[in-house]
Structure 1
Amino acid sequence: MLNFILRLVARLPLRLVHGLAAIVGWFAWHLGGERKRLSLLNVDLCFPELSAAERRRIVYRSFGHYYKTLSEYPLIYLGDADRLRALTVEIRGQDLLDQALAEGKGVILAAMHLGSFEVSAIPMSERYTMTGLFKPVKYAALSDLALKGRSRFGGQVVPIVKRNGKRAVGSQLLRALKRGEIIYAVPDRDPPRGQGVFAPFFGIEAHSPVLIPKLVQATGARVLICYGERLPKARGFVMHFVEPPAGYDSEDLQRAAAAINAGTEACVRAHPEQYWWGYMRFKRRPDGEISLYRKTARRTAPPTAARDGREAA
């Protein structure tokens, strides 16, 4: 039954799917809940220079984009291949990707939670040899769907597994880079404790992944930040490839993570309403700092004070 429903959704016009997703987002916004609380707090922390109304507007619009992203997965994983290819109406920075590949050391795509990366990236895997990470979800049927969907055009997927209590991705990514291929990983998440460093993101110390910097150190691969911008009125998507600021290849992991964070921040600032604000990006704090997500924090401190993460307990 699930497969039937997903295949049905995959055949619907994108404008209708996005319209239904916008309605769901409207209801989710008005129902409130934890996602709304976290989103409002994150935007308050990251955009203190904006008015309260402007920050609230970003979060409201982000709800619609969040559910649009979820509604696109049936089309991405099961929809007509030609139709999916046609959704990418423009690729900006493809010359950067081709130039980086020509160096022969591989390319790491820092694929962030902005817009829809997979709409464009999955079809591109029939032209470029690509390997990405995959975190299995609780329900086996959905994991299997995602696994097959992400590899339907020839891309390779590496499951994230735990070994000795720690997450491991195996040696597949390293081997792919040494063959001069493309891999992609997520830079805008809070990794498990001990697997990241603190680096600024919107002026806030954020626990940041070091997988990408470590792979750069091991291979000399180039890094490009990428995301799929969702165009209004279901007109399609624009795929962006953007060079990160200098320092992403530093041997200092903290400096490298800071450069990647700065690059992702610039992309978010360009399209803040399409970012996934409902995630605890600043969950872990440096020693001595209290949680930014305490339910009392937002009521007792203005955004400018909360940015320091050192308000009195």
Structure 2
Amino acid sequence: MLGRIGVAAALALLKFLAILPYGITARFGDGLGWLLYQLPSRRKRIVHINLERCFPDWSTERVESVAQQHFRHVIRSYVERSVQWFGSAEKLKKLVVVDSEVDLSDPDMPPTLLLGAHFVGIEAGSVFINYALGRPCGALYQPMSNKMLDAVARTQRGRFGSEMASRADSARIVLRWLRDKKPVMLGADMDYGLRNSTFVPFFGIETCTLTAVGRLAKTGQAQVLPFIGEVLPNYRGYRLKVFRPWQNYPTGDDAVDARRMNAYLEEQIRLMPEQYYWVHKRFKTRPPGEAPFY
């Protein structure tokens, strides 16, 4: 746990890195990730378990290669909070390529849920999509345990007009935003326990999956626009990919709708498996009687 001095020092470092050329900051994060991967750690073990469970046909060598690439991406993503939180709008605009299948600036956009996925570029995508929309949106977030860092993160994530709300207070606030036709950003591909969740397959594994997206879309009569923040190769920045709205969604069946989200994730993860957030305990909650993974 970081104390106030530790948090202040970390924020000072991020602000310093934000003024450096992006390539230097990105390479520093990449190198730090490589160095930390050489050390035994709980997070490294989680990455290996997740990859081995989801890709049982992979060789040991491929698991090791993707695990190392992923660890480097994760540490780099923390370092790049510098430019994402403290870099100027002009700097971000030069770093983010927007690849959208819909017109984000459409003033007649219907009530919309912007569904983010936890790839390593989610922070860049979430910060910039609000800028690309050109108008305020709502965003749900999971509060950090350190209150000082949480306050800074909340402010910087909302610096382009996003109204932030804790995930714990979400339903009432989200429905109000949707009634006001304010686009709402949220992520639902994490394991938050059994409440408001169901078990559906994810890479063939029964996985505790939130049902909130389908329920909110149904109640708020909203379309669902998935988006992904992708880290581009050769330290070129990011691609914000926004897909077309899901058709025939929601169905009203929580399990069917949750499986739809997981199937979409599987498709995208296979395109860049090293960038999905494997350091998270995605399979922490198991069906009754099943042994833990971690």
The residue aligned with 1:139 is: 146
CA deviation vs aligned residue, 1:246-285 (integer Å, no higher than 9, x gap): 6640111111100011111211111111111111101111
The residue aligned with 2:220 is: 219
Alpha-carbon distance in structure 2 between the residues aligned to 1:182 and 1:282 = 30
Which amino acid in structure 1 is aligned with residue 122 of structure 2?
F
How many Å apart are 1:143 and its aligned residue? Answer: 1.1
How many Å apart are 1:179 and its aligned residue? Answer: 2.1
Q: Are 2:252 and 1:251 aligned?
A: yes
How many Å apart are 1:113 and its aligned residue? Answer: 1.2
Alpha-carbon distance in structure 1 between the residues aligned to 2:38 and 2:263 = 33
How many Å apart are 1:98 and its aligned residue? Answer: 6.4
Q: Are 2:269 and 1:264 aligned?
A: no
The residue aligned with 2:50 is: 42
Q: Are 2:152 and 1:151 aligned?
A: no
Relative distance call for 1:198 and 1:245 in structure 2 (3 A) is: farther
The residue aligned with 1:93 is: 101
Relative distance call for 1:243 and 1:49 in structure 2 (3 A) is: farther
Alpha-carbon distance in structure 2 between the residues aligned to 1:186 and 1:98 = 22
Structure 2 unaligned regions, length at least 5: 1-7
The residue aligned with 2:124 is: 119
How many Å apart are 1:198 and its aligned residue? Answer: 0.6
Alpha-carbon distance in structure 1 between the residues aligned to 2:271 and 2:41 = 27
Report SS of the residue matched to 1:169.
Answer: helix
Alpha-carbon distance in structure 1 between the residues aligned to 2:108 and 2:66 = 39
Alpha-carbon distance in structure 2 between the residues aligned to 1:121 and 1:279 = 19
Q: Are 2:178 and 1:177 aligned?
A: yes
- Tell me the C-alpha RMSD between the 2 structures: 2.0
The residue aligned with 2:14 is: 6
Report SS of the residue matched to 2:227.
Answer: strand
Alpha-carbon distance in structure 2 between the residues aligned to 1:69 and 1:248 = 32
Relative distance call for 1:142 and 1:4 in structure 2 (3 A) is: same
> Conserved in 1, the CA contact under 8 Å of 2:218 and 2:250?
yes
How many Å apart are 1:214 and its aligned residue? Answer: 1.0
Mean CA deviation greater in 195-204 or 121-130: 121-130
Report SS of the residue matched to 2:38.
Answer: helix
The residue aligned with 2:5 is: none
TM-score by length of 1: 0.84
Alpha-carbon distance in structure 2 between the residues aligned to 1:135 and 1:8 = 26
Alpha-carbon distance in structure 2 between the residues aligned to 1:265 and 1:224 = 17
CA deviation vs aligned residue, 1:140-192 (integer Å, no higher than 9, x gap): 221111111011111110023xxxxxx33252211111222211111210123
Structure 1 unaligned regions, length at least 5: 161-166, 294-313
How many Å apart are 1:291 and its aligned residue? Answer: 1.3
CA deviation vs aligned residue, 1:17-68 (integer Å, no higher than 9, x gap): 1211112111221102111111011001111222221122111100111011
How many Å apart are 1:241 and its aligned residue? Answer: 1.6
Alpha-carbon distance in structure 2 between the residues aligned to 1:65 and 1:9 = 17
Report SS of the residue matched to 1:124.
Answer: helix
The residue aligned with 2:31 is: 23
Percent sequence identity over aligned pairs: 28
Alpha-carbon distance in structure 2 between the residues aligned to 1:47 and 1:92 = 30
Alpha-carbon distance in structure 2 between the residues aligned to 1:24 and 1:18 = 10
How many Å apart are 1:220 and its aligned residue? Answer: 2.1
Which amino acid in structure 1 is aligned with residue 136 of structure 2?
T
Residues matched between the structures, number = 284
Alpha-carbon distance in structure 1 between the residues aligned to 2:36 and 2:249 = 38
CA deviation vs aligned residue, 1:124-143 (integer Å, no higher than 9, x gap): 32414321112222222211
Q: Are 2:189 and 1:192 aligned?
A: no
The residue aligned with 2:88 is: 80
Mean CA deviation greater in 282-291 or 236-245: 236-245
Report SS of the residue matched to 2:62.
Answer: helix
> Conserved in 2, the CA contact under 8 Å of 1:125 and 1:155?
yes
The residue aligned with 2:70 is: 62
CA deviation vs aligned residue, 1:272-303 (integer Å, no higher than 9, x gap): 1111111110111112221122xxxxxxxxxx
The residue aligned with 1:291 is: 292
Alpha-carbon distance in structure 2 between the residues aligned to 1:170 and 1:5 = 36
Which amino acid in structure 2 is aligned with residue 273 of structure 1?
E
Relative distance call for 1:44 and 1:259 in structure 2 (3 A) is: same
Q: Are 2:240 and 1:239 aligned?
A: yes
> Conserved in 1, the CA contact under 8 Å of 2:112 and 2:181?
yes
Relative distance call for 1:205 and 1:102 in structure 2 (3 A) is: farther
